[in-house]
Structure 1
Amino acid sequence: MSFAKRFIGAENLPTRLSEFDVQQSFCMSADDIAAVAGRFRHDRRVAAAIQMLFLRASGRPMDRFASVPKTLLRAVCEAFQTPAVSIASLRSLYARRQTLYEHQAWARTYLGLLDLDAAGVDQLQKVLAISALEAAHPDDLAETARMWLYERRIVIPGPRRLADLAREAFDATEAAMAATIEAGVGKAALLKAIDWCYATQSGGVGTRLEWLKTPPKRHSPSTMSETLEKIRALKALGVHVWPLDGVALSKQQAYAAHVQMRRPSMTARIERQRQTVEITCFLHVTLLELTDMALLQASRRSQDLVRRAAERVEKGRSRSNGATLQQALKAKSVLHDESKPWRDRVLEARALLDDIGEAGTSTFASQVRRALAEDNRRVHAHLAGLRDIEFAGASGDPGHDQWQAWQRLQGLGTKEIPQDFELPPVGAAWNTIVSDLDPQSRYRAFEASTMMALRKSLRRGSAWVNHSISFRARESMLLAGADWSRTKELHHQILGLPDQVMAFLEPILAGVSVGLTALAEAAGRGQIEIGADKLLHLPPIRPMDEEVEPRKTREAVFKHIGSVQLPDLLLEVDAATHFSEALLARRPSSSNELLAIYGALLAHGTDLDAKGVGSMIPGIDAAHISTAMRAVELSGRLRRANERVSEYQNALPIAALWGDGTKGSADMMAMDASRHLWTARVDPRRRTYAAGLYTHVRDRWGLFYDQPIVLNERQAGVAVEGVEQHNRAEDRIRISLLAVDTHGVTNVAMTIAKLLGFDLCPRLRDLRERKLFVPRGWPVPESLEGVTVRRVSVKAIERGWDDLVRLAASIRAGKVSAAHAIHRLGSAAVGDPLHRAAEHLGRLLRTLFLCDYLAIPDYRREIHTLLNRGESVHQLQRAIHGGQVAPERGRRRQEMAAISGAHALLTNIVLAWNTNRMDTVVTKLNRDGVGIEEDWLRRIGPAHFSHINFRGTFRFNVERYADVLVEGTAGLGAARPGR
């Protein structure tokens, strides 16, 4: 597990080592004891065993001046049943240095470790050369080298030699990149681009480099105009045609991040080759990200225009309804006026009713389309702003065809459609108003149709932009056709999927038959009811009896734990997991650097900023915290730190009572944000602007994935993405079931999840309106006929099986994220064969799930329990981040990801600390004879925070943990003899 690997490459151990660490990483087996006892006499066994245990945990010999933790000494002495040794350093254990070397040589032979020879160096250099293609920093390569050597049972050399190898590989890759860039772009073009970056931007806002680094502000037409202006400037430099496909995007993003972090004057002073690479990558990545921003802003802008059109129609309908009512009342009064002859009354009333006309005969949607076409000034301005983005599209795609036709009309410089101009098909919904006899009305309607069709085509991927990340061509996101044909069988084996679709469908269809029978039996027993309205009526789950003992146990446990200050909590968990090392990709070199990392974590993960955190931590300047904040934004660092803490919490003994680690839940938490954040949306519940943080919680309570999302969008993609990212690692417990709410599931998502090896289990809203889908002609119990729909096409699944497996293989291979793939297969993709296959297979899977969910109350309770644990974690998350995301924060993708990752890390730290203390208290109480039932402990979770002080002046007692956390201080606090 990732947290257990923190000792790999270490030269010594901290003076304080927990019992948990000893059990996890330094435990001796019976074979170990026998081997040591058979080789050494009794007074040498403890020292030899320590050498062997350290070498096995770290992969390298212990420094001869290192101290030995007392907990480790005591455990080894107990294993050999010898008197406890009070001397706690190797110098004291080894009077003769030759004896130390003999013990280390024996330990290498016993463990089967090899020295790093010339052949090993060659292999390691090849591995580092490949890893350097995507590495963000040489420190990441040094970590890769340590892990590679450890896994191959090769003794890890000193840190300086590894650093030299990592730097050589990194520099060689950088030199190759520079040569590739210069050959592809041209030296003159590169010099022009660099000079352009340092030139002053018109308007007096600084250099063009600073202008490009400025993130977008609030959602508005002016923000979109500025984004498009930057895209035009970069395309004028020719950035969109630079041949950089051979350079990994993650590598480009890493170099671009360095430019983003520094002031332009600092970038101008670095070495010329590196400056060229960084500037080139920054310009290219900025163009890709700006294009994504522009298209997302354009999509939201088109939604705004549609919403305004709908509001105008609604107001017009209200006025029309009022006038109609007035006319009807007048006609009624005329008919009741007995002073006039009946014939006169009828004629007068008919005249009044004739004035009402044909109002209300057209649908609301058609009226909105007409209103949108009438808003031609805004629609035209919106389309005109997108002309500098080069769209491509599949043959016959409506959105792309209409866009090309609209561009040809702009070339004619006309505001109406000429008689001889051939318009592409616009669809039945728009055809009526686009076919208007008035040429200008036709033109306005065609512009509105083009805007909506292009948006839909971009969402489903039938139209794309080559200089983009999220909106690139579908084929570029999948395994290449030739590669897929050649390696298809291998990918089927990796995914565990059969070659023939029926071999996959038969167990599912059999399960559906059994499930329908069980559901009919449950209906017969009255567990569910199918009413005359042909809807499912399910009684609510009866809550478990409220017992006094679990509540008293929870209060007693946390009373024993007591209160804690956040700095002490951070230091304790860091000492156990070394998450600060993961954030820096190395151990901090000083106490100030460690404090700066803690400050960066708090500034990203709470509602404080660098200045606010700096005022709370004496001795640390806000500038140092800001520098550390940018460092932790580097790709993957927060994720690795979260994995360390989550895996540590998951491995604590008490966590096994809460679950087996194979199940989890996922849900979104809305974090208050400024309306000036362009990705912010109005939270429908709280009616405030907010940003979404989507987190995955294990059944053992730890957060194993996090991701920022936009509110009011489907969450099914990120739900699947989190489990897939977690399950890729081979040394973790795989998640096999994920509970989500209605927003976190679609039929397509259930299909993709199943192909990737886990089940997506939703708690559905409006359950009584849900239907059971089966293939045509499928036998169904008579009592379920009213809630069954025969709309599953097995043939559609058969036709799309190969494409489905190819998509799943592409996700597993990292060509495309599950979130993006599911987004592309949303409602906009209706009619696509791949979407049709995924939709019909998802209907079958949802039916299978519903049968179990409805017929088995314990299964339903388990789903609800998992989701309730996620809600409990949300309360803790709100306690950690109780305020609003500052207006200037979260505008960049990397910064929003850092906010999400830091917030998840702080949450995991609290959960891990609580879990560790709960385990310690329960163990002590049981040892003291205060028995605690395991059933009570299963109902007590670690998402408790009232005993933690999250505010105030933070005083970090770094000296206590310096030998554990800070490089170069190990051994300074070693225990003296007899101490």
Structure 2
Amino acid sequence: MKQHWDLHDLIEHFTLLPPEVRFLGANSPHNHLGKALLLKFFQYEGQFPESGAELPASVVEYVAQQLNLTETHFHDYEWEGRMIRDHRQQVRTFLGFAPATLENQQELRAWLIHEVLPHEYRLSHLEQRAYARLRSLHLEPPPSARMDRLVRSALHAYEQTFFAETAARLPEAVKLNLQQLIYHKQDLTQDIDLTDAEADDPSLYPLHDLKSTAGEAKVSAIQKVAERLKYLQAVGLPADLFRGFPLPFLRQYQQQAAVESLSHLQRREQEEHTYTLLAAFCWVRQRELTDQLVDLFLRVLQDIRLRAKQRVERELLVDYIRVGGKQQLLYRIAGAMWDNPDGIIREVLYPLVGEERLKALVKEAKSKGTYRLSVQTRVSGSYTHHYRRILPPLLAVLTFRSNNERYQPLLEALGVVASYLQEKDPFYPDDQEVPLAGVIQKQWQSWLYQKDRTDGQRRLRRVRYELCVLQSLRNKLRCKEIWVEGADRYRNPAEDVPADFSENRTDYYAALALPVEAEQFVEKVRTQMTQALQELNDGLPTNPAVKILTKGGGWIHLSPLSKLQEPTNLRYLKLAVRERWWMTSLLDILKEADLRIGFSDSFQSLTGQERLPRDELQKRLLLCLFGLGTNTGLTRVSMGRHEVSYANLQYIRRRFVSKEALRRAIACVIDATLAIRQPEIWGEAGTWCAADAKQFAAWDQNLLAQWHPRYRKVGVLVYWHVAKQALCVYSQVKTPSSSEAALMIEGVVRHCTAMQVDRSYVDTHGQSEVAFAFCHLLGFQLMPRLKNLHKQKLSLPDKAVGVKYPHLTPVLGGAIDWDLITRHYDEMVKYATALRLGTADAEAILKRFTRNNLQHPLYKALAELGRALLTTFLCSYLTHESVRREIQAGLNVVENWNSANSFILYGRGGEISTNDQDAQEIVLLTMHLLQSCLVYVNTLMTQEVLADPTWRARMTEADWRGLTPLFYAHVNPYGTFELDMASRIPLVA
């Protein structure tokens, strides 16, 4: 049960009704209060508390007040003995519940196996479903330890059945192919006696190569990834082997196969288990490699064009310098022609300009042509002489599809390109029908033709056609109008939405708290928009901060916020913390947080087997997390006096540290921080989060790291979601070119903490019209700080109502097409449901609704809804200074979080020194965990200092406002430094 409750929730869930008061009867004060709390706890949770510590103080106080008692009476309530047994039995009888018998528990186990798994495979979620099931049956669940064993037993039984059924569906030829992944290249029928070191030699087994990363975007990388993908396709897994199983469910087995040593895989006694692990590895890895290959293809085409543009721009600059003073020459020639309209060119212009200079101008104009043509010609040259080698492997292993008849000509064009790959003739035959309409932009259709030197006829040049087809393919892949068989992120977009949406339409609408009728939804949005416009218009004459100007076709002028009073005592508070906990080790902070919270329990062996004692495992885990999170590395951490070797830390890193485990651990720390916060110090828990990105330097021989024009460096992007008081609830590691709007939605929907988010503060890059629409459908408000505020336009609810807002006339735009929103409302809710359920990640879904796909009717509807919501927000933003301060304060919180990153991630100059994308993400997630632990421990330290009434009296309103648990002047992130003057380095000379 959550520890902090507001008054509204206490009234709703813990108010004693008259029948309940009569049920309580007359008891001694402590038994009377204890019985009442058992009743209300059971009503809320569906089970009894196992100790008094589970009951929040605010709940105890609220119930006690209703009984005219004090919360101190609860301290005398006995949690063992006849009295509490009688109270529990009475509560069960009153509420119509009975204890779950062994028969009930076996029925629950069977229900989990047949009805819940594998749609939900996560242990914590399975427990939630089990508790909910018992509650619906009016059964009291068994003790938590017994419940945990029951759920684990159901999961284990389901897995054994899954292994057996999977192995039975594999043909013998496929089993032999799977064995070749882990066995020596000699004949598999021969006995092979290898040591463990020899058995794991990467040069002997395909499995090691299949686990390798893609590398940077270049021809050799595409060829290598295509070769791996072709190998996996040749394994021959049945197409429907894992159909219906969610990819995250299969990924846990893929990870197990990836981290298990080959010698252990070879020696497994259960063949069904081994075959299933390898089949899951191939299935998941095939989809990952397909996505990687598409990513490489998109990046290569982008890089070719960028380099061509840079080259052409340099040449244009040289040309401009080569013939200087062209603008002045133009004026002089125009003047001479005006003065001598009937003169002879040789007599009038040559003396003025010079014949050679005129020849140079003509030569320059002929050589450079149009800018776009120059760039395209340069791209064509690069493609012809080097990058054309990517085409055969791409077309050999990728199969492209489309659900839209409009793009069938593009698929036909790919077929034509593939059929002529082995031909030597640079031109297509005259009788070959080559699709142009709907494939090649009109501006390039004439460019495709070149003169054939053999007969002087203009014919269609193959390499130019191939290039244009690939450029069109790139554009359609980005918005998923073209999709790829066997991919995950580039899969059929129809698979991104719930398959049962039509059957369970009402339930999905209810889950989003949206009306089923589109007209009701539209009317509410229209009403809010109309009221916001009227409020802004009416208040504008008396609003000193906002002016609507006519310049530039309409201009919104907003004065900066006035400066608030500076906190005066916070620096002294931090000094007090520093004096009391002088130079606390960052490793000790990590250890203390784990001893209090137990987040290390989130790290389980990826192989499913743990042989280390838990206390030793905990010690090694903390050292491993410290080395990763500070970026100092496992080698340097192993040098400490803790008797843990580098090999031990490597083992922990490989077997226990995963992205999923780190996210679970972070959620544990966040929830624990929320639980220990004292509202009188930190205020009530907020329901907002601020989102922003930060780039970290990283090695660039991978698909994640990119050059970012805004940061002017190569690196990876981390997108933070930070709530009130430096509580970072979610983080994502992406490419710098990723859509920040999609990342914002993903973080709000996916964070696994107990916090509820109803507002998201972002900067200009984190918003878009489509993002406004989806945020509203998902039940939270997008509130950006717009850099280009002066350019914004306010949409109208109707064309005829513009006259009602005379003060806003210069910035009024077009009217909203409500009919378009109404027609596509159901489709919008379907995609919002997909975002909520996670059937696809937000970036994959939002790819369909970008400016690359302007003609998509659903994109137009989302943009219309987004324009209406943006107008409502802008009106509120301009009308209320409190809204602007709220957003500014929220974004300041995330900036403060960013400022502490370099203190935690200090190793190797803050550069992520690996090309493994998973390893890059693990380093940054571990840093997130370390920084969250710092916030947790600092919260405890600050509360301990402020427990002194003297300190409470010193704090001003500005101090309370600026108080944050994210500070580190009292922390030593490096460790201890030892100097032994008696020891020497053993050197020969």
What TM-score range do you get, normalising by the shorter chain? Answer: 0.7 to 0.9
Match for 1:156: what amino acid?
A: P
Match of 1:528 among 546, 561, 574: 546
Partner of 2:986: none
3-state SS in 1 of match to 2:420:
helix
Using the alignment, how far apart are the partners of 2:641 and 2:787 within structure 1?
46
3-state SS in 2 of match to 1:916:
helix
**CA-CA distance at 1:363 after TM superposition:** 4.7
Unaligned residue ranges in structure 1 (runs of 5+): 5-22, 86-92, 94-98, 956-979
Partner of 1:181: 166
Using the alignment, how far apart are the partners of 2:808 and 2:367 within structure 1?
39
**CA-CA distance at 1:621 after TM superposition:** 2.5
Deviations 1:410-439 (A, max 9, x none): 265542222222232212343342355666
Tell whether the 8 Å contact from 1:753 to 1:759 is kept in structure 2 after alignment: yes
**CA-CA distance at 1:175 after TM superposition:** 3.4
Q: Does 1:452 align with 2:468?
A: no
Using the alignment, how far apart are the partners of 1:287 and 1:617 within structure 2?
44
Partner of 1:10: none
Deviations 1:611-638 (A, max 9, x none): 2233236122333333333444456432
**CA-CA distance at 1:330 after TM superposition:** 8.6
Tell whether the 8 Å contact from 1:199 to 1:208 is kept in structure 2 after alignment: no
Change in 2 beyond 3 A, CA 1:105/1:796: same
Tell whether the 8 Å contact from 1:677 to 1:887 is kept in structure 2 after alignment: no
**CA-CA distance at 1:309 after TM superposition:** 1.3
Question: Per chain length, whose mean CA-contact separation is higher, i.e. which structure has more relative contact order (CA < 8 Å, sep 6+)?
Answer: 1
Match for 1:106: what amino acid?
A: D
Partner of 2:664: 640
Match for 1:841: what amino acid?
A: L
Partner of 2:983: none
Using the alignment, how far apart are the partners of 1:234 and 1:920 within structure 2?
59
Change in 2 beyond 3 A, CA 1:603/1:285: farther
Q: Does 1:212 align with 2:229?
A: no
Match of 1:921 among 931, 945, 965: 945
Tell whether the 8 Å contact from 1:210 to 1:264 is kept in structure 2 after alignment: no
Q: Does 1:573 align with 2:578?
A: no
Change in 2 beyond 3 A, CA 1:514/1:786: same
**CA-CA distance at 1:449 after TM superposition:** 1.2
Match of 1:758 among 780, 784, 790: 780
Match for 1:400: what amino acid?
A: L
Tell whether the 8 Å contact from 1:492 to 1:499 is kept in structure 2 after alignment: yes
Change in 2 beyond 3 A, CA 1:264/1:58: farther
**CA-CA distance at 1:531 after TM superposition:** 4.4
Partner of 2:768: 746
Partner of 2:190: none
Match for 1:458: what amino acid?
A: L
Match of 2:706 among 681, 684, 693: 681
928-937 or 389-398, which deviates more: 928-937
Deviations 1:275-303 (A, max 9, x none): 11101101111111111111112211111
Using the alignment, how far apart are the partners of 1:467 and 1:54 within structure 2?
49
318-327 or 448-457, which deviates more: 318-327
Match for 2:943: what amino acid?
A: D
Change in 2 beyond 3 A, CA 1:201/1:226: farther
Deviations 1:738-775 (A, max 9, x none): 00111111111111111010111111222222222335
Matches for 1:240-255 after TM superposition, within 5 Å: 241=239, 243-255=241-253
Partner of 2:231: 233
**CA-CA distance at 1:2 after TM superposition:** 7.5
Match of 1:492 among 493, 501, 509: 509
Match of 2:349 among 334, 346, 351: 346
Tell whether the 8 Å contact from 2:691 to 2:744 is kept in structure 1 after alignment: yes
Change in 2 beyond 3 A, CA 1:163/1:371: same
Using the alignment, how far apart are the partners of 1:943 and 1:496 within structure 2?
36
Match for 1:834: what amino acid?
A: L
**CA-CA distance at 1:556 after TM superposition:** 5.0
Q: Does 1:154 align with 2:173?
A: no
Give the count of matched residue pairs.
Answer: 905
Using the alignment, how far apart are the partners of 2:588 and 2:134 within structure 1?
35
Change in 2 beyond 3 A, CA 1:832/1:155: closer
Match of 1:517 among 518, 534, 546: 534
Partner of 1:474: 493
Q: Does 1:392 align with 2:401?
A: yes
Deviations 1:663-683 (A, max 9, x none): 111111222212334411224
Q: Does 1:194 align with 2:201?
A: no
Using the alignment, how far apart are the partners of 2:807 and 2:49 within structure 1?
72
Match of 1:374 among 376, 381, 388: 381
C-alpha RMSD over aligned residues? 4.5
Using the alignment, how far apart are the partners of 1:712 and 1:891 within structure 2?
19
**CA-CA distance at 1:467 after TM superposition:** 1.1
Change in 2 beyond 3 A, CA 1:353/1:777: farther
Partner of 1:280: 279
Name the % identity. 21
3-state SS in 2 of match to 1:486:
coil
3-state SS in 2 of match to 1:198:
coil
Using the alignment, how far apart are the partners of 2:742 and 2:650 within structure 1?
33
Tell whether the 8 Å contact from 2:681 to 2:960 is kept in structure 1 after alignment: no
**CA-CA distance at 1:249 after TM superposition:** 1.4
3-state SS in 1 of match to 2:948:
helix
Change in 2 beyond 3 A, CA 1:569/1:373: same
3-state SS in 2 of match to 1:548:
coil
**CA-CA distance at 1:386 after TM superposition:** 1.1
Using the alignment, how far apart are the partners of 2:302 and 2:494 within structure 1?
28
Partner of 2:696: 671
Q: Does 1:794 align with 2:818?
A: yes
Partner of 1:860: 884
Partner of 1:423: 434
Change in 2 beyond 3 A, CA 1:918/1:33: farther
Tell whether the 8 Å contact from 1:150 to 1:156 is kept in structure 2 after alignment: no
Change in 2 beyond 3 A, CA 1:3/1:284: farther
3-state SS in 2 of match to 1:878:
helix
Partner of 2:85: 105
Matches for 1:582-621 after TM superposition, within 5 Å: 582-584=602-604, 589-616=613-640, 618-621=642-645
Matches for 1:245-394 after TM superposition, within 5 Å: 245-270=243-268, 271-325=270-324, 344-347=347-350, 349=353, 352-353=357-358, 356-357=361-362, 358=365, 363-375=370-382, 376-387=384-395, 388-394=397-403
Match for 2:969: what amino acid?
A: S
Unaligned residue ranges in structure 2 (runs of 5+): 5-9, 93-97, 188-200, 337-342, 453-457, 979-989
Change in 2 beyond 3 A, CA 1:709/1:605: same
Matches for 1:536-547 after TM superposition, within 5 Å: 536-547=556-567
Q: State the TM-score, normalized to the length of structure 2.
A: 0.81
Using the alignment, how far apart are the partners of 1:488 and 1:82 within structure 2?
47
Using the alignment, how far apart are the partners of 2:389 and 2:702 within structure 1?
23
Q: State the TM-score, normalized to the length of structure 1.
A: 0.82
Using the alignment, how far apart are the partners of 2:806 and 2:449 within structure 1?
50
672-681 or 652-661, which deviates more: 652-661
Using the alignment, how far apart are the partners of 1:127 and 1:590 within structure 2?
29
Using the alignment, how far apart are the partners of 2:16 and 2:622 within structure 1?
38
Partner of 2:841: 817
Tell whether the 8 Å contact from 2:591 to 2:622 is kept in structure 1 after alignment: no
Using the alignment, how far apart are the partners of 2:783 and 2:952 within structure 1?
42
3-state SS in 1 of match to 2:562:
coil
Deviations 1:96-125 (A, max 9, x none): xxx966456336425637244312321134
Using the alignment, how far apart are the partners of 1:153 and 1:946 within structure 2?
53
Deviations 1:708-759 (A, max 9, x none): 1111332111101111124x88xx4421110011111111111111101011
Tell whether the 8 Å contact from 2:380 to 2:464 is kept in structure 1 after alignment: yes
3-state SS in 1 of match to 2:761:
strand
Change in 2 beyond 3 A, CA 1:154/1:601: farther
Deviations 1:649-670 (A, max 9, x none): 2231248745542111111122
Q: Does 1:838 align with 2:862?
A: yes
Using the alignment, how far apart are the partners of 1:30 and 1:260 within structure 2?
57
Partner of 1:15: none
Using the alignment, how far apart are the partners of 2:618 and 2:21 within structure 1?
39
3-state SS in 1 of match to 2:795:
strand
Partner of 1:808: 832
Q: Does 1:942 align with 2:942?
A: no
Partner of 1:406: 417
